[in-house]
Amino acid sequence: MHPSISHRFKQGKYRSTCGFTAKFYLFCFLLLCLSGALPAGATPYAYTAKYDVGNDYITAGEAVMTLTPTGQHWSHKLDSYTVGVTALVYKKRLTETSTLFVSGEQLLPLTYVLTEGNHKNKHITTTFDYENKQLHIQKGTEEPINTAFTPPVFDCFSVILEINRLLQKGFDEVTLSLVDKTKLKQMPFKTLGVEKVSTPLGTFDTIKVQRHQGSRTTYSWHAKALGFQPVLVEQYRKDALEARMTLKFFQKH
């Protein structure tokens, strides 16, 4: 995404929100960039959002995103999986979960877990140790990685919520620190103006956000009427569309 939540389906390849959103979305959109759950100065609210994932030719998968309270914390989860003909020839499921706490106007991550089916060697768990300002990253059976950090730092999924919070306040350009798998990176985001976007839920006035990383550029369109929930996310590589996420269901709880 843009800023953003991240998946892509192409020739049997499927990636996390860092690979598809800005984001998550952020999406890391999903990717990029898929939640409007933290209006500026307000309490987060629980919600469910569903997206179709595909390209110009096929809908290859579905992504279901939720934000739910868990005691004093919040659980932000994205469950993505192949559907239809794609699932018959290439069955795939990927889950991203961020556990967050409220800090002022922000939701900051405590843990981030990425699981990819039964491939335990691809599972990633990141723990944010705020007392010692250390990131503890475990990827499969590899040696743990410990990295110093200065808050705020986001994972590829929780950055989605921060971008939407900044849209509520109004921003032109911003660079955020986030953990992309096992590396700490600086990710730039910028707004590109207002556009109307049509989705299965209707037509929305949106703010378009861009995130550029290497050869890939992710765009996300955030609807003010839905608390700046992204209604569309597209990822391009060298100007060629790789994947698209389109909102088809959204409900507050």
Predicted confidence at residue 52, as pLDDT, reads 95
Predicted confidence at residue 75, as pLDDT, reads 96
- Phi-psi bin for 185: left (phi > 0), alpha (psi -120 to 50), beta? beta
Predicted confidence at residue 42, as pLDDT, reads 55
Confidence (pTM): 0.82
- For residues 27 and 74, give the distance between their C-alpha atoms in angstroms, rounded to a whole number: 17
Per-residue pLDDT of the chain (253 residues; tens, 9 = 90+): 333 333 433 444 444 444 433 333 333 333 443 444 554 445 678 899 999 999 888 888 999 999 999 999 999 999 999 888 777 777 788 999 999 999 988 999 999 999 987 777 789 999 999 999 999 999 999 999 999 999 999 998 888 889 989 999 999 999 999 998 889 999 999 999 999 999 999 999 999 999 988 888 999 999 988 888 899 999 999 889 999 999 999 998 8
Predicted confidence at residue 9, as pLDDT, reads 37
The residues, any chain, with a CB within 8 Å of residue 143's CB and separated by 6 or more, are none
Predicted confidence at residue 2, as pLDDT, reads 34
Tell me the domain boundaries of the chain: 9-252
Determine contact, residues 219/234, Cβ cutoff 8 Å.
Answer: yes
Strand-pairing partners, residue 221, are 208, 232
Q: What is the CA radius of gyration of the chain?
A: 16
